[in-house]
Chain A
Amino acid sequence: MFPKSDSELNRREFLSVMAASMAMAGLAGCAAAPPEKIVPYVRAPEDLLPGKPMFFATSMPTSGYGMGLIVESHEGRPIKIEGNPDHPASLGSTDPFAQASLLGLYDPDRAQIVAQSGRISTWDAFITALEDSLSGFESNRGDGLRILTETVVSPTLGGMLQQFLAKYPAARWHQYEPVNHDNSRGGAQLAFGKYVDTQYRFEDADLILSLDSDFLSWQPGHLAYARKFARRRKIAPGEKTMNRLYVVESSFTITGAMADHRFPVRSSEIAGLAKALADQSLSGEPSWLGQVVQDLAEHRGRSIVIAGETQPPEVHALAHLINDRLGNLDKTVFYTDPIETNPVDQTRSLGELVQEMAAGRVDTLAILGGNPVYSAPADFEFGQNLSRVPLRIHQSLYFDETAEQCHWHIPETHYLESWGDVRAWDGTTSIIQPLIVPLYQTRTLYEVVSAMLGNPSQSNYEIVRTNWQKRHPGQDFESFWAEAVRRGTVPDSQEKPLSIKPRTQIPPLGETVQSGEGLEILFRPDPTIFDGRWANNAWLQELPKPITKLTWDSAALMSAATAERLGAHDSDVIEINSQNRSLKAAVFVVPGHADRSITLTLGYGRYRSGRVGDGHGYNAYTLRTSSAPWIAPNAEVRKTGERYELVTTQQHHELNQRHIVRHATEDEYARSPAFAQEEEREPKPEESLYPPHENIDYAWGMAIDLSACIGCNACVVACQAENNVPVVGKGQVANGREMHWLRIDTYFQQGPSSLDVYFEPMLCQHCENAPCELVCPVEATSHSAEGLNEMTYNRCVGTRYCSNNCPYKVRRFNFFPYTEWNVPQFKLLYNPNVTVRSRGVMEKCTYCVQRINRARIEAKKEDRKIRDGEIVTACQAACPAEAIVFGNLKDSASLVSKRKAEPRNYGVLAELNTRPRTTYLAKLTNPNPDLVEKK
């Protein structure tokens, strides 16, 4: 390349060398990313107007289930994810994962190029190696050829894998995910003799008994369930339509927080309770169980008994049986065929693969998705056994723990960059359409399987489209395809209910179900990083976990009594010995956790996740075995004397007799509908030195229903994504500098029968008498003509006086330049309609003023006023429980005005005469009077 001697280059030579270098650089650029166009559009893409966002339907596949989404795209780059209202698994809302998956797309730590033994390689080189290997299997029909995938619910991918098995009959396809549905599958097997999926109609359930089920956050279909559950929590005074929720659980979940009665019971003892419930043999069981049984009996056909995935199959079978006896089948509970292409017991499936690997019978293993080296049960020793496989291929989004041990690593295309299809929990099929050209040299699972089938050059689009053409061969395919892509769902694709009945005899409880006397260890997916797949997602790492408010770490969660027994306090490191394995974890005390029970969350302790995820928390997988994936009995625990600093965003959870959260039971509400407004005196508008602000056309306001809020955090991440809210890191969170514009305050209060939990989303209240506005020396925060409390970043000098004087402490300050300005990928991420803030300025919730203005422009173009419901704030859009309503208070017919006219409406700290524009509807509960009086 370069001349050998350093003798003078003549000009011609110099230019040729330079040209060659430039060409090489250009080529490399082409390969790594699509060439950036620096000329304006010569022929503009249809409908694309610079500055005007476009919206596309797609679907997010995660953990084997699809969630329909609408993605907002600005000049070809996706910048915000919303739920698809036409999709049954979303109904327009999202969960935190869907929101944060956008950051995953732009994550600079994603695997970007094909790697061979950790060195950069090419797709062609991989294809050569693959063909080389596959040619060896032609003779033995694929003996020794193994594929390991995550749960496959994509009809196209599933079909291709079955095609592959047909081509290589001796090959095997295994599926494994650490957070799988083996127990509910096993329960269905026990009850029905075959795999079925259970679906629930929460809208018709007056009474719900959850046996360790967190159906509001990680049950398949949880968003739809949350919506339907929450609708039954909002009532007018005197109405008797509110549902009642009993939750029996060990580790505190958001479902438990929504319960009218939550019974903290060790997870290992729940099976016994379920058995007693089914047998109606209540002697020796806690007294409340009798009341629950009676209540269930009074709600025949209108109740749901739901067992959690963490409970053994027997409990699921019992739940089916109880539901049948209560006449709930086909009313509130129904069954469908599994939506997966090939439902299997995943732990067993992986176990078989590991056995074969150990025996040396696996020659080529393709791990398509997943990270089994990190997440497989510890007793499988997957990593060690994997090294006996002569050819190991891995495909995933990140160059992770598994990739490190494989010969080939194929970077996976993010779902926002790829074509595909996926089914939701009810069977609804969606076409995944890309929002952007792949940022890196990545391939989809479809392309890799296609290559394994011998078609390495077939494009992702061709594969998916051809498959659908086969499934829908009619003349109208073009319009079918266009409509399916546009709407995000394939019509009439949901599974039909089966009419089956569970076997009537009660299965005996297996050995694994028996509870020991010692400490039980519970394994739970982490509320924000799930099974570890989101570990490198900074939005999710910094998202305060519901209930605990921990960020950036996992902890050993336990009750105060258990911690006291161990002599441990928060952040003390304990060593847990279970089934001859040990793990060190930091203690965190959670009120309401069952005693003699310790919850460990999965997903942390990563060492090869990326710059964000490495080195946080402990790896609970090292304790988790195939025989005890959720509950490990009889653990030995001792205090080590070490400390590991855990960081939370909220240190105080008591209400201190302050009327911040107002609540009543259904009966109290009927007797005294205005109970919330009577707790504090709200000053009259004229009780101020300054004249009131006049609003001409619009007066924006928000109402948040505390009865509906399930504390799921979707709004927090949605706000972060919409408003370019930066992430600050663990150290800064420790110092109280997190930047979330919207937080969910969580308060605990000992209620008459159990520990009550209150979630209160807290964001800028847009006070009419805003204390912040008064004290700003430079008028950087001021009142708009429509009642918004506006923050002018450019004018802010950063005295922080406004934050000091904010009684709600919702203002956030850029103590450092938190925004990452220099990461090229993040430049694509930011919402162009929201100013990116720099160091030294204050920021806070704007009521999504950019969305207000977008609606205003549309309204002005049509020479009309903004319609009610036209402006949906990011938090409101994400909320599965419809707890947040935003709109014009000048319009008495608007939904927000109606909500605010309800007697439950009150302003937090309104007694200070702040006149908050954000108000809250007091929380209602529906406890069983018999249980309350007993205590």
Chain B
Amino acid sequence: MREETPETVYTPPIIGPGHNYRTLTEKISGIVLDRKAPIEWFLLFGVGFIGSVTLLFALIYLLARGVGIWGINIPVGWGFDIVNFVWWIGIGHAGTLISAILLLLHQAWRQSINRFAEAMTLFAVTCAGIFPMFHMGRPWFFYWLLPYPNTMGLWPQWRSPLVWDVFAVSTYLTISLVFWYIGLIPDLAAFRDRARNRYARAIYGIMSMGWRGAARHWHNYETLYVLLAGLATPLVLSVHTVVSFDFTVSIIPGWHSTMFPPYFVAGAIYSGFAMVLTLAIPLRKLYHLEDLITMRHIQNMAKLMLATGLIVGYSYIIEAFMAWYSANPLERYVMINRAAGPYHWLYWALILCNLVIPQALWSRRVRNNVVAIFFIALVVNVGMWLERFIIIVVSLSRDFLPSSWGMYYPTIWDWATFGGTIGLFIMLFFIFIRVLPMISIFEMKQIIDKPEVSIE
């Protein structure tokens, strides 16, 4: 598994020196089982909690009053709701990519980041799922989008991309959850064995499903894990492809485009890595994990972000080129409207965030500077959100008939719901790192060259 590296380039290791099986287990499980949570944990959990309560309140108010509390209107029927949905779904992609695709590609460096990246995926998809559900005028009938036998004799309308979405997203959530949980089982057993609290022992015991570390267990585990990785791999591509169908299948200029599927997938991975970096950089600092999540990881992810960012940037350029080349006045107007219309400042902010600033990652000095990378990751998160806003809102606000053009302005409830899901995400994530191993212990052990002692 050693990589060939040119001698002139210093490549940081994927695990710090001096680690053995025992130190790994103690370090990672100790965060949950032995040590008290740092004050920062409480602060960040508190932020997430407040956000979650805000979300709860915003959703209850939404149910009581109707979607009119948001800024949406005719022509802009989708606003923050679908923008946030696509943004969150995109964020989830990095987790699956790291855990499934990099596993199949035998990228050993994934081992220390896959666990929390997968958790991030789950939580991001959870946040994403809130939006399509509650964006409906009558959310209590959400199940009409599912094919279930009913006295009305009706099925969903299969030609609608929204129905495809339901399947794509729910499949994605299911596979991600199963994959994540299967990967957790050996570590849950380790927690069961190390936990001193009776209740914790019982809970971890139930969750570990009788894992004893037997060779047969490992054999079954490895088989299942690779199979699931194989299942999850196409999902990385398919989910955002289907999400992009929501737009490409329509006839709205700015939506109706054949390049959306690859463009959306690249964008999703781009934003996913940005989010993994946004989480990993403070986490390794907070829990002193610099020797497990090393500069190697940070740099690899930065490079991936740069690569996917280039695909995204290429898409922006092609979009503009095709608008001109198509000679279709409506397509041309889409670009003119983005660049010079009432939302032009958002478009230029997007270009700055997604196309210009990330180019700094070409510099090795920047790639060695975690603060700079953290900043760029944040910028990309913002940029990717803006991209969805521009695709969805700006295209809708000016479509075919100038008579029906109109502006969309988010209301306090749009912001509360958006901020609320960020809060929910933070809260779920901090619960996760408090009760589960945020780094896969047993997979880390696989990359230690010389095991000192056997697993306890």
Contact = CB atoms under 8 A, between A and B. Distances in A.
Q: Are chains A and B native binding partners rather than an unrelated pairing?
A: yes
Interface string A785-815: 0000000000111111101110111011111
A803 B74 contact: yes
A798 B137 CA distance: 4
Contact of A797 (B142, B252, B400): B142
A653 B138 contact: no
B405 interface: yes
A762 interface: yes
B74 A812 contact: yes
A628 interface: no
Contacts of A137: none
A294 interface: no
A737 B66 CA distance: 13
Interface residues of B, number: 48
A664 interface: no
A760 B154 CA distance: 38
B77 A909 contact: no
Contacts of B160: 774-777, 801
B401 A798 contact: no
Contacts of A776: 157, 160
B194 to A, nearest CB: 48
A646 B330 CA distance: 30
A746 interface: yes
A840 B74 contact: no
A821 interface: no
A805 B252 contact: yes
A497 interface: no
B77 A803 contact: yes
Contacts of B91: none
A650 B154 CA distance: 39
A745 B401 CA distance: 9
A737 B77 CA distance: 10
Interface in A113-164: none
Contact of B68 (A652, A796, A815, A912): A815
A654 interface: yes
A737 B401 contact: no
Nearest to A913: B251
A478 to B, nearest CB: 55
B329 A658 contact: yes
A657 interface: yes
B135 interface: yes
Interface string B53-69: 00000000000011110
Interface string A647-659: 0001111111110
Interface in A701-751: 732, 735-737, 743, 745-747
B73 A736 contact: yes
A178 B66 CA distance: 43
B16 interface: no
Contacts of A839: 66, 137-138
Contacts of B139: 797
A297 B290 CA distance: 97
Contact of B401 (A651, A809, A811): A809
Interface in B300-338: 329-330, 333
Contact of A777 (B68, B156, B329, B404): B156
Contacts of B406: 651, 736
A817 interface: yes
A779 B251 contact: no
A828 interface: no
Interface string A766-777: 000001001111
A775 B161 contact: yes
A804 B78 contact: yes
A457 to B, nearest CB: 52
Interface in B62-93: 65-68, 71-78
B365 interface: no
- Counting chain B CB atoms within 10 Å of each CB, which of A650, A656, A805, A816 scores highest? A805
A526 to B, nearest CB: 22
B75 A736 contact: yes
Interface in B401-445: 401-407
B216 interface: no
B138 A807 contact: no
B349 interface: no
Contact of A804 (B142, B163, B252, B405): B252
B77 A801 contact: yes
Contacts of A812: 74
A814 B250 CA distance: 22
B144 interface: yes
B136 interface: yes
A799 B138 CA distance: 8
Given A775-B162, A909-B400, A651 B405 contact: yes
Nearest to A912: B251
Interface in B133-178: 135-139, 141-142, 144-145, 154, 156-157, 159-163, 166
A103 B212 CA distance: 78
Contacts of A815: 66-68, 72-73, 137
B144 to A, nearest CB: 5
- Counting chain B CB atoms within 10 Å of each CB, which of A651, A795, A799, A816 scores highest? A799
A747 B159 CA distance: 36
A747 B404 CA distance: 11
A841 interface: yes
Interface in A192-241: none
Contacts of B157: 776-779
A631 B113 CA distance: 79
A842 B77 CA distance: 11
Interface in B21-71: 65-68, 71
Given A774-B249, A776-B160, A804-B78, A798 B400 contact: no
A840 B136 contact: yes
A77 to B, nearest CB: 30
Interface string A414-457: 00000000000000000000000000000000000000000000
Contact of B402 (A747, A774, A801, A813): A747
A798 B144 contact: no
Contacts of B65: 816
Nearest to A779: B157
Contact of A779 (B75, B78, B154, B330): B154
A583 interface: no
A775 B138 contact: no
Contacts of A654: 402
Interface string B242-286: 000010011110000000000000000000000000000000000
Interface string B121-136: 0000000000000011
A657 B329 contact: yes
Contacts of A842: 137
A660 interface: yes
Contact of B159 (A656, A774, A811): A774
A328 B157 CA distance: 65
B399 interface: yes
Contact of B135 (A650, A660, A799): A799
Given A651-B405, A656-B333, A799-B136, A737 B68 contact: yes
A163 B391 CA distance: 74
Contacts of A735: 71, 73
Contacts of B73: 735-737, 815
Nearest to B77: A800
Contact of A799 (B154, B162, B401): B162
Nearest to A728: B68
B78 A800 contact: yes
Q: Which 4 interchain pairs have the tightest Cβ spacing?
A: A798-B137, A840-B137, A815-B68, A800-B77
Interface of B: 65-68, 71-78, 135-139, 141-142, 144-145, 154, 156-157, 159-163, 166, 246, 249-252, 329-330, 333, 396, 399-407
Given A778-B141, A803-B74, A814-B66, 19 more contacts: A656-B333, A660-B401, A732-B68, A735-B73, A737-B74, A743-B403, A747-B402, A777-B160, A777-B163, A795-B144, A797-B141, A799-B136, A799-B137, A800-B72, A800-B78, A800-B137, A805-B250, A839-B66, A912-B251
